């Protein structure tokens, strides 16, 4: 698989950087995905999808030996795993259940749209805030877990969450998704 990824990268320096990244974090990402998905094939898919996402945003990764890189990769692989889990659950749900009430379907679509829009707004925040807030809100990790992943003090995580929520609220107000009251 590494050869496929390297073929998508242009410069020799970036190829070396990606190879280091891949070799250092591949197993960690797989174990994390497997913990969520409980299926080795789906975990491999999640890791593959994650590395494809990394390649698209490769310039944003400072180095393979950076604490922020580990947190960033965990966010990506967790997101990919949850996307696979949700996709598989929706397929099962659609096979088993019939949609009886259009209002429920409309509410579900609207809720998913709002969730996706909030995710998009969070991803526009500075990286330290977006990663921290994503781990907190979307992955429901507690502050101690986030501090452990990001290798920072819990007080730093508390402050980042406070500031990230404040910035998110400002952006939601700006886009008229939140009333100033």
Q: What tens digit of pLDDT does each residue of 23-81 get?
A: 888 998 999 888 888 889 999 999 998 888 888 877 777 776 766 777 788 888 888 88
User: And the tokens for 50?
Assistant: 């994650």
Instruction: Verify that 109 and 48 share a domain, yes or no.
Output: no
**Domain containing 20 — which CATH number?**
1.10.1740
Cα–Cα distances (Å) from 32 to 57, 71, 73, 153, in that order, read: 21, 12, 10, 22
With a cut of 60, say whether residue 146 has pLDDT above it: yes
Q: Can you read off the two tokens belonging to residue 72?
A: 């960033």
Mean pLDDT of 2-9: 74
180 and 163 inside one domain: yes
Domain shared by 87 and 161, yes or no: no
Task: Domain of residue 83: give its range.
Answer: 1-97
How far apart CA 58 and CA 15 sit, in angstroms, is: 10
pLDDT at position 119, please?
81
72 and 111 assigned to the same domain: no
| Overall domain count for the chain | 2
pLDDT-derived band at 110 (thresholds 50, 70, 90) equals low
pLDDT at 105 over 80: no
CATH number for 178: 1.10.10.10
What is the reported pLDDT for 179? Answer: 60
């Amino acid at each position: 698989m590494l050869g496929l990824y390297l073929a998508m990268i242009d410069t020799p320096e970036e190829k070396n950087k990606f190879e280091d990244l891949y070799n250092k974090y591949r197993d960690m990402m797989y174990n994390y995905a497997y913990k969520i998905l409980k299926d080795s094939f789906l975990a491999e898919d999640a890791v593959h999808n994650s590395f494809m996402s990394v390649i698209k945003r490769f310039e944003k990764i400072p180095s393979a030996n950076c604490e922020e890189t580990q947190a960033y990769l965990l966010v990506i692989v967790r997101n990919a795993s949850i996307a696979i889990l949700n996709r598989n659950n929706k397929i099962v749900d659609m096979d088993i259940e019939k949609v009886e009430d259009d209002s429920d379907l409309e509410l579900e679509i609207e809720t998913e749209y709002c969730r996706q829009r909030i995710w998009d707004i969070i991803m526009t925040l500075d990286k330290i805030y977006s990663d921290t807030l994503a781990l907190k809100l979307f992955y429901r990790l507690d502050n101690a877990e986030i501090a452990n992943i990001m290798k920072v003090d819990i007080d730093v995580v508390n402050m980042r969450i406070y500031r990230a929520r404040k910035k998110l609220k400002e952006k939601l107000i700006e886009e008229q998704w939140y009333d100033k009251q």
